[in-house]
Amino acid sequence: MLEINGLTVAYGEHLALRNFSLSMQEGEIVALVGESGSGKTTAIRSVLGLLPLGGAVTEGTISFEGQQLQGLLPREWKSLRGKKLSMIFQDSGAMLNPIRTIGSQFCEYIRTHSSLSKKEAGALSQEMLERMGLSDPESILGAYPFQLSGGQRQRVGIAMAMTFQPKLLLADEPTSALDVTTQAQIVRQMLELRDTYGTAILLVTHNLAVAAYMANRILVMRNGSTVEQGDRESLLRSQEPYTRQLLQAVPDLGGKRYV
């Protein structure tokens, strides 16, 4: 479904990603793990064509369902983003307009990508919030982002991303800004989305424990390059020094490390 071959991304003279390759199937969960600055976010932003100012793909190709993504026109991107490709950001509250209600933003998002009326978009936004396990969705739709907790904002972000049942969900550190209990709830909901809709998930995280719990396959990244990749069982037994450092960084509880 997703094929990345020899991708290199540069910000001026700095290479943020070097010869990166990845192949994903429908319904698969792949995790990119590594420390900050390892190129994880650059990789998934390249897929969505949303590199920050100054970033450019200098080598390699990205294809989604056989369609080359480089060089797409804005109208072509519009037909993909939000519908077939969606993204959950590290802090969904930061992507929301602080002076507009959740409901007005959610409805605008739905109507941008569909021909639904304002009333139909409002009903769909409420339905999606209910599916995310949010109690009293009417109140949330009438609230401003700052009136919601971090977990509630993140669920709103996931609800928006899943509205059109995308084929591929790009998740950029979706749990790192949350407390441990809320992290567990968000992780379970993302797995339910995969099981219910068959959505593939490309997950970026520095938390190897989350990656090991969720992913079918893990890519360990460092300084813009892939150190190693494999299924979670082989990675947990890896003798690669950097992977061992990431494993040792997972906190233990009562002398046991829960990965």
Is a pLDDT exceeding 70 seen at residue 259? no
pLDDT at 160: 92
Closest CA to 259 of 219, 209, 211, 218: 209
What is 2-257's CATH topology?
Answer: Rossmann fold (3.40.50)
Dist CA 259 CA 256 (whole Å): 9
Q: What's the pLDDT band for 257 if we cut at 50, 70, 90?
A: low
pLDDT at 254: 67
Tokens read off for 4: 């990345």
| Residue pLDDT, tens place only, 162-201 | 899 899 999 998 877 677 777 788 888 888 888 888 899 9
pLDDT at 258: 59
Is a pLDDT exceeding 70 seen at residue 128? yes
Q: Mean pLDDT, the chain, as a whole number? A: 89
Give mean pLDDT, residues 127-139. 89
Give mean pLDDT, residues 36-41. 90
Q: Can you tell me whether residue 210 is helix, strand or coil?
A: helix
Dist CA 8 CA 84 (whole Å): 24
Burial, 13: exposed, middle or buried (Cβ in 10 Å; 0-12, 13-18, 19+)?
exposed
- Give Rg (Cα) of the chain: 18
End-to-end CA distance of the chain: 29
Closest CA to 9 of 207, 232, 224, 233: 224
| Residue pLDDT, tens place only, 108-119 | 999 998 999 999
Domain extent listing, the chain: 2-257
Dist CA 19 CA 127 (whole Å): 42
Instruction: DSSP letter for 259, please.
Output: -
Closest CA to 102 of 145, 131, 133: 145
Give percent of the chain above pLDDT 70: 97
Dist CA 184 CA 182 (whole Å): 5
pLDDT at 239: 87
Give mean pLDDT, residues 127-132. 88
Contacts of 57 (CB under 8 A, 6+ apart): 7, 8, 9, 46, 51, 70
Give percent of the chain above pLDDT 90: 54
Dist CA 74 CA 171 (whole Å): 22
Residues in the chain: 259
Dist CA 23 CA 67 (whole Å): 14
pLDDT at 208: 81
